[in-house]
Amino acid sequence: MTPAQDKQANRRDFMKTAIVAIGGIIGGAIGIPAIPYIIGPAQQKDNEDWIRLGAVSKVELNVPTLFKTTLETQTGWVSSEEEFSVYVLTENGQDFSVMSNICTHLGCRVRWIPDQDGFFCPCHNATFAKDGSVVDGPPPRPLDQFEYKVEDGVIFVKRG
Partner 1 sequence: MGANIGNWLDERFGWRSVWEAIFLRKIPHVNWFYTLGSATLFVAMTQGITGILLTMYYVPDPARAYDSVVYITTQLPMGWFIRGLHHWGASAMVVLTVAHLLRVFFLGAYKYPREVTWITGVFLLLVVIGFGFTGYLLPWDQRAYWATTVGTRIIGVAPGIGEWLLRVARGGSELSAVTLARFFGTHVWILPAALLTLIGVHLYLVIRIGISAVPEKDE
Q: Judged by CB under 8 A, does residue 61 bind partner 1?
A: no
Q: Judged by CB under 8 A, does residue 76 bind partner 1?
A: yes
User: Least distance (Å) from partner 1 to the CB of residue 10?
Assistant: 17
**Sign of the torsion formed by the C-alpha atoms of 91, 92, 98 and 101:** positive
User: Least distance (Å) from partner 1 to the CB of residue 69?
Assistant: 25
89 by Cβ neighbours in 10 Å (0-12 / 13-18 / 19+) ranks as: buried
Q: What is the DSSP string of 90-132?
A: ESSSSSEEEEESB-TTT-PBPEEEGGGTEEEETTTTEEE-TTS
Share in percent of the chain as helix, strand, coil (round to 5): 30, 40, 30
Q: Which is nearer to partner 1, 1 or 78 (CB)?
A: 78
What is the Cα–Cα distance from 150 to 80, expressed in whole angstroms? 27
Question: Could you tell me if 47 and 159 are in contact, meaning their C-beta atoms sit under 8 angstroms apart?
Answer: yes
Q: Judged by CB under 8 A, does residue 38 bind partner 1?
A: yes
Q: Which of 25, 78, 92, 107 binds partner 1 (CB under 8 A)?
A: 78
Let me know the angle formed at the C-alpha of 144 by 160 and 127, rounded to the nearest 5 degrees: 150
Q: Which is nearer to partner 1, 43 or 94 (CB)?
A: 43
Q: Which is nearer to partner 1, 14 or 37 (CB)?
A: 37
Q: Which of 1, 25, 36, 46 binds partner 1 (CB under 8 A)?
A: 36
Q: Judged by CB under 8 A, does residue 33 bind partner 1?
A: yes
Q: Which is nearer to partner 1, 19 or 154 (CB)?
A: 19
Question: Which residues here bind partner 1, judged by CB under 8 A?
Answer: 26, 30, 33-34, 36-38, 40-41, 43, 76-78
